[in-house]
Amino acid sequence: MSNDANTTRAVTSSPREFHFTAADFERVRKLIYDRAGIALAPIKQDMVYSRLARRLRAHGYTTFSEYLAHLERGDEQEWETFTNSLTTNLTSFFREAHHFPILAQQMMKSKDRPFRIWCSAASTGEEPYTLAITACEAFKTLDPPVTIFASDIDTNVLATAGRGVYPEERIEKLDPERLRKFFLKGAGAQEGYVRIRPELQKLVTFTRVNLLDARWPLQGPFDALFCRNVMIYFDKPTQYEILKKFKPLLREEGRLYAGHSESFLHAADLFRSLGRTVYERADSKR
């Protein structure tokens, strides 16, 4: 039996509400790769089905083939929803905490001018607001000379980030002093929720960016660029192309912060490691 036949059996072996074949799955893989650079692994079949099934219900389709044909006819609003459905957004405040003391030290070396950061995978906002907290603590003020641009491909999570309201369990591991200084109970947030202080929200500008777009609505130079736990969804050639576009946006002494499971050895001509998933431009003369 061919591999395709085996895959078809794997995809359709259990009863499902909608007809979903191996060819449909491969079609989804190509569409999301072409649109967002995301390389879906073969084991993501069930995830794709569960996340897109709701879109078939919304449009009244009975097969994935019908839905994908609708998508390919050029419904831009549905393209956005399709992309949002297949992106994964895992984040938390002070995730991979070792980066933030390094960032604070970097900030304090740039007191002669505003410090600019691009957080390129903002998700629901925990990371950019962590950057804002780090800036406030480094400069000992709620009005530090720091500007944070935060982007994501998913418009739904950006809307959440812009509101800056979180369930209390999302902050329960934070230091009590940080909670007191940087979060508000009440202030428009319902019971069981907290709101980021407005001073922090003013430090962050949220915008949608697809890292695969030919042009990004951002201009450098940046002192720090956070792209953590994003590259794992791209293949190596796509990673390289994104890193090639990152490089001229960073100051020569700038820093690129990556996720704990990411390595850019394949782009050694662009960036060199400083250890602990922090990189500098390969042409830096530090």
Active-site positions? Answer: 51, 152
What is the DSSP track for 216-271? Answer: -S----EEEEEE-S-GGGS-HHHHHHHHHHHGGGEEEEEEEEE-TT---GGGTTTE
- Residue listed under structure tokens 């999302």: 170
> Under a CB-based contact definition with an 8 Å cutoff, are residues 211 and 242 in contact?
yes
Two structure tokens written together for 283: 């042409």
Question: Which segments of the chain are extended strands (E)?
Answer: 115-119, 146-152, 165-167, 183-185, 193-196, 204-208, 222-227, 250-258, 271-275, 278-281
Cα–Cα distance measured from residue 192 to residue 194, given in angstroms and rounded to the nearest whole number: 7
Categorise residue 104: left if φ over 0, alpha if ψ from -120 to 50, beta otherwise.
alpha
Two structure tokens written together for 208: 């949608």
